Amino acid sequence: MEIEERKYPLPPAPDWLPDMAQLEYVRVGEILTETLTALDVGCLCDYCTAWADFAALTEEIKATSAPAVLKSERGGFYMNPLHAGQTTAAGRMQKASERLGLDPRARKRIGIDDGWRFLTDEEINAQIPDL
Residues comprising the chain, all counted: 131
11 within domain boundaries = no
37-75 pLDDT, tens per residue? 878 899 999 999 999 999 999 999 999 998 888 888 999
122 within domain boundaries = no
27-39 pLDDT, tens per residue? 998 888 777 887 8
Residues 6+ apart with CB under 8 A from 92: 46, 49, 50, 53
120 within domain boundaries = no
Q: What is the pTM of this model?
A: 0.73
124 within domain boundaries = no
104 within domain boundaries = yes
Q: How many domains does the chain have?
A: 1
Mean pLDDT, rounded, of the chain: 83
Range(s) of the domain holding residue 102: 19-108
Q: How are beta strands 69-71 and 77-79 bridged, if at all?
A: antiparallel
35 within domain boundaries = yes
